Amino acid sequence: KQEVTQIPAALSVPEGENLVLNCSFTDSAIYNLQWFRQDPGKGLTSLLLIQSSQREQTSGRLNASLDKSSGRSTLYIAASQPGDSATYLCAVVLSGGYNKLIFGAGTRLAVHP
């Protein structure tokens, strides 16, 4: 059974720091991995989608890497800002079966001025 773990569960940093959020999964047979952002009481906003054949994806200050063989992905946030404060969720889609996202519990990030 695929399990997705995110570490740390919570993170509080001063503005301007570069951050690394970790996501690990137990079954390496994934189709792709997606990182989402969730603001309190809101829905999920897609940040980056990495296909299993890709090593990384970048969007602005965000960079996500994928090492499928070791079951790990990292989300790198450069020069963090207070507006980055949110919960970050990673989710994987398995190679077999139907198109089902399996989520980690998330990392709650607070960036203070």
Partner 1 sequence: DGGITQSPKYLFRKEGQNVTLSCEQNLNHDAMYWYRQDPGQGLRLIYYSQIVNDFQKGDIAEGYSVSREKKESFPLTVTSAQKNPTAFYLCASSMDRVYGYTFGSGTRLTVV
DSSP 3-state of 91: strand
The reply on whether position 76 binds partner 1 by CB under 8 A is no
Rounded Cα distance, 95 and 30, in Å? 5
CA atoms within 13 A on the CB side of 2: 24
Shortest Å, Cβ 79 to partner 1: 26
76, β-bridge pairs: 20, 63
Confirm if 3 and 25 have CB atoms less than 8 A apart.
Answer: yes
Instruction: Return the residue of 44, 54, 76, 85 that touches partner 1, per CB under 8 A.
Output: 44
Q: Work out whether 26 is an interface residue with partner 1 (CB under 8 A).
A: no
Near partner 1 by CB under 8 A: residue from 23, 86, 89, 109: 89
Is 109 an interacting residue with respect to partner 1 (CB under 8 A)? no
d(CA 85, CA 24): 22
Binder to partner 1 among 17, 70, 79, 100 (CB under 8 A)?
100
The residue ranges that bind partner 1 (CB under 8 A) are 4, 31-32, 34, 36, 41-46, 49, 51, 89, 91, 93, 98-106
